[in-house]
Chain A
Amino acid sequence: MAGDRAASIDPDALSWYEATARQRVLALTDPGSFREFLPPTERRMSPHLPLFDLPRAFDDGIVVGRARLDGEPVLIAAQEGRFMGGAFGEVHGGKLVGLLRAALALKPKAVLILFDTGGVRLQEANAGETAIAEAMRAIVDVRVAGIPVIGLIGGRAGCYGGGGLIAGTCSRLAVSEGGRISVSGPEVIETNKGAEEFDSRDRALVWRTMGGKHRRLIGGADAFCADTVSAFRKAARDLVGRAPAFDLDTLEAEQARLEARIDRFGDCRDATDVWARLGVNDPESVPAMDTDAFAETVARSPEADHDAR
């Protein structure tokens, strides 16, 4: 299916943050290689949104299919963060779960998940929540079968709620500066605990706490990309080649890694305190760093690179 002129858009110039899910998929994978499952023409839309007088999307906000990356077969899912905040509804979740289950039979080189989600779609909350649990179990099955599951995060909606948990289940994650990975969103924390706990309008605070740079520095993500599709493509190719196994050793290592993180940074109030303890000379300068300068900083962070995921 033709979509959004992506074929004519240069992946080097196309902003991941600005691109639609469909544009990301088409520009990320080898030209002409993408085949969509349950494409919009099949009109698998949410059966629930009309009850709330809300518009539906032909793909329920997620594009799934198969494609090639450098000639190798991959399965790919991409959430559309602008439709209902990329949230997991029943059809949306079912498509991701089905794709992951298909991987066991198809044995692709990797499964790529292009997260862009606020979490569970409240209008179909129980279906969304359960689908997230199903997706996590399916990812584990896929990883055990030796197929890397790579998460790419850099969209408008970030990767929140259950999306953050699914991301934490992946073999590897690539993130851009605009990407955020978290469970509770800033507004949720503020609503429940007050603006003193978290001022959601302080966007610099949001990005310091949840954004791509912080996640990369503490090892919450394995690659940091410039905000272009080609940068994500490069990261995805690289991460496919170095995915950790899913076994007791890996999880013991992750246990040790996360415990050490809390020991080391558990009393930090702000990300800049964490970065200072990581040995970053001028923590205040991190948000303004360009990709190259940040890469040098990451190279000096002892926590950034590991196989404990």
Chain B
Amino acid sequence: MGEWRGERRARDARIAAGRAHADGKVVPAGAVVDLLESILRPGDRVCLEGDNQKQADCLARGLSACDPDKIHDLHMVQSGIVLPEHLDVFETGIAKRLDYSYSGPQGARIAKMLYGGQIELGAVHTYLELFARYFVDLTPNVALIAGVSADRNGNLYTGPNTEDTPTVVEATAFKNGVVVAQVNEIVDTVPRVDIPGDRVDFVVEADTPFYVEPLFTRDPAAMTETQILIAMMAIKGIYAEYGIRRLNHGIGFGTAAIELLLPTYGEKLGLKGKIATHWALNPHPTLIPAIESGWVKQVHCFGSEVGMDRYIRERPDIFFTGADGSLRSNRAFCQTAGLYACDMFIGATLQIDLMGHSSTVTQSRVAGFGGAPNMGSDPHGRRHPSDAWMKAGREGQIVGDPALMRGRKLVVQLVETFGDKLVPTFVEKLDALELAKKIGLELAPVMIYADDVTHIVTEEGIANLLLCRDADEREQAIRGVAGYTEVGRGRDRTKVEALRARGVIRRPEDLGIEPLDADRALLAAKSIKDLVHWSGGLYEPPARFRNW
């Protein structure tokens, strides 16, 4: 033995090589490629920071411009495959292996590259799972991260989009890795220290501010009557029924419609203060009317959202903010909060099968899952009760000692029976299984497994899967809300009516909802402009969402 400091020595050598291109820790944007070529080694595990929101885009461009003869066969371990450069590096041979979570905009290209064998795929993780592996078997040798500003000592201000940064740095800096941060500007004093300077080895002053995708902005103008109907059913049939106070909403127009119905429809039902008070949620612009109407007590965020910074700054009683006044988000903590401290996750998916397994992976798109598999799972480690959790537990448990009964997290799929271009949401078999077979994955990319799902809400009704007593009932409950899809038309009408009589399936009329009342007039805001008005002018939507 005797060699206990090899990694540390290697790290020191990388940093020494990198210093040639730096003034202290500061590297000019033009020297990024030189820097990366001097600190990277073939086969390194590299975390290039980027998730569904912020992107270390300057460093991504730098990495993709490296010489593949010098830098090759990297193992990318990162949350998001979002920028074209994230995949370019696999085409040039700079990178070879990939473990990731999310790939929304690059979903189609990643599918092609997987089929073409250009990427050796480890796994498609949920965020928290990938973060966990950073500390066990996917620890990065080099982390390339993004922040708003840094001082010359490397103290880093991430701004409201802190997101993954603390987790990535923690895993890299404390295990002999090298941390490079791109920042929009070098300042004398940062507004607040999100990452202490002794964890940051190099600071690159980027040519342009890092990119942030406004992923959680849903334009109320695009909401349909069907989405409003589904939202009404969810509020009355689930939120009110279970008294859901602590929750997370996935992305989508259905959940955004719920947010916009709270101050109108929810108010009418007398639910204010009784539901939707504590959130693990990005700062959705569509939540503004509910916040302004006094529905929301507090919100912890995974990341920020473009245009919401001034609003958040003026609402510190609601959001988590730093001494400087701006939002402090943290993806790892918020994912943990969603897992253990929320009683419900409600989100959407692209495909649901007859048992209730769901996935956003289709044959032509591998979009990844982000946080959904985590938020949308029932944590068996939970040990604190709540009314909602206990009620769901009682509904789901029919055998065993009641004294040993535990609760259930509500995991709700909110879907329209058909997606864009009349593609059915309900299918006999998930495309994910076909994809797994084709590219030889040991584990099919299922987003939420059937045993975690408790309810499916469609425009046809709510299926409460907790109340199903066997596989056949479960299948018929799902068919019974699958509308005019083939799966829906393949229902056994007698069995479906029996399930309805038991309350396993509930139609709008069973909930006292008239579908023709599902009108856009119910939305607290009908446009982005309305949201700006609700915020008192504090919300500053990105240009692409404006029509004024």
Task: Kindly provide the distance from the CB of B306 to the nearest chain A CB, expressed in whole angstroms.
Answer: 13
Q: B519-538: which residues lie under 8 A (CB-CB) from chain A?
A: 520-521, 526-527, 529, 532-533, 537
* Inter-chain contacts of A288 with B (CB < 8 A): 532, 537, 548
Give Cα distance in the complex from A18 to B533, angstroms.
18
Take A13-B521, A18-B520, A288-B537 as given contacts and tell me if A203 and B547 are in contact as well, using a CB distance cutoff of 8 Å: yes
Bitwise, A201-232 to B at CB < 8 A (1) or not (0) is 11111110001010000000000000000000
Question: Across the A-B interface, how many residue pairs have beta carbons closer than 8 Å?
Answer: 36
Q: Is B5 an interface residue (CB 8 A)?
A: no
Q: Is A60 an interface residue (CB 8 A)?
A: no
Take A15-B526, A18-B520, A18-B526 as given contacts and tell me if A287 and B548 are in contact as well, using a CB distance cutoff of 8 Å: yes
Task: Kindly provide the distance from the CB of B544 to the nearest chain A CB, expressed in whole angstroms.
Answer: 5
Do A205 and B526 touch across chains, with their CB atoms under 8 A apart?
Answer: no
Please, which residue of chain A has its CB at the minimum distance from the CB of B540? A288
Known: A178-B548, A203-B543, A287-B546. 4 other contacts (CB 8 A): A15-B526, A177-B548, A202-B544, A290-B533
Give Cα distance in the complex from A201 to B521, angstroms.
28
Binding site for A on B (CB under 8 A): 221, 520-521, 526-527, 529, 532-533, 537, 543-548
* Inter-chain contacts of B526 with A (CB < 8 A): 15, 18
* Inter-chain contacts of B221 with A (CB < 8 A): 18
Do A203 and B545 touch across chains, with their CB atoms under 8 A apart?
Answer: yes
Do B544 and A207 touch across chains, with their CB atoms under 8 A apart?
Answer: no
Q: How large is the interface on A (under 10, 10 to 19, 20 to 34, 35 or more residues)?
A: 10 to 19
Task: Kindly provide the distance from the CB of B546 to the nearest chain A CB, expressed in whole angstroms.
Answer: 5
Q: A-side binding surface: helix, strand, loop or mixed?
A: loop
Give Cα distance in the complex from A288 to B546, angstroms.
11
**Of A15, A287, A290, which is in contact with the most chain B CB atoms at under 10 Å from its CB?**
A15
* Inter-chain contacts of A203 with B (CB < 8 A): 543-547
A207 contacts which of B521, B532, B533, B548 (Cβ < 8 Å)?
Answer: B548
**Of B526, B532, B547, which is in contact with the most chain A CB atoms at under 10 Å from its CB?**
B547
Please, which residue of chain A has its CB at the minimum distance from the CB of B543? A204
Please, which residue of chain B has its CB at the minimum distance from the CB of A176? B548
Do A204 and B532 touch across chains, with their CB atoms under 8 A apart?
Answer: no
Q: Mind listing 24 A-B residue pairs with CB under 8 Å?
A: A13-B521, A15-B526, A17-B527, A18-B221, A18-B520, A18-B526, A177-B529, A178-B548, A201-B543, A201-B544, A202-B543, A202-B544, A203-B544, A203-B545, A204-B543, A204-B546, A204-B548, A206-B547, A207-B548, A211-B548, A213-B548, A288-B532, A288-B548, A290-B533
Do B520 and A207 touch across chains, with their CB atoms under 8 A apart?
Answer: no
* Inter-chain contacts of B529 with A (CB < 8 A): 177
* Inter-chain contacts of A287 with B (CB < 8 A): 546, 548
Do A207 and B546 touch across chains, with their CB atoms under 8 A apart?
Answer: yes
Give Cα distance in the complex from A15 to B547, angstroms.
14
Pairs A-B, 4 closest by C-beta atoms: A204-B543, A203-B546, A204-B546, A202-B543
**Of A177, A178, A201, A204, which is in contact with the most chain B CB atoms at under 10 Å from its CB?**
A204
Give Cα distance in the complex from A182 to B521, angstroms.
30
Task: Kindly provide the distance from the CB of B541 to the nearest chain A CB, expressed in whole angstroms.
Answer: 9
Give Cα distance in the complex from A18 to B529, angstroms.
13
Please, which residue of chain A has its CB at the minimum distance from the CB of B521? A13
Task: Kindly provide the distance from the CB of A181 to the nearest chain B CB, expressed in whole angstroms.
Answer: 14
* Inter-chain contacts of B521 with A (CB < 8 A): 13
* Inter-chain contacts of A15 with B (CB < 8 A): 526
* Inter-chain contacts of B527 with A (CB < 8 A): 17
Give Cα distance in the complex from A201 to B214, angstroms.
14
Give Cα distance in the complex from A204 to B543, angstroms.
5
Give Cα distance in the complex from A177 to B548, angstroms.
6
* Inter-chain contacts of B545 with A (CB < 8 A): 203
Q: A170-220: which residues lie under 8 A (CB-CB) from chain B?
A: 177-178, 201-207, 211, 213
**Of B221, B544, B548, which is in contact with the most chain A CB atoms at under 10 Å from its CB?**
B548
Bitwise, A150-169 to B at CB < 8 A (1) or not (0) is 00000000000000000000
Give Cα distance in the complex from A203 to B548, angstroms.
8
**Of B520, B529, B533, which is in contact with the most chain A CB atoms at under 10 Å from its CB?**
B529
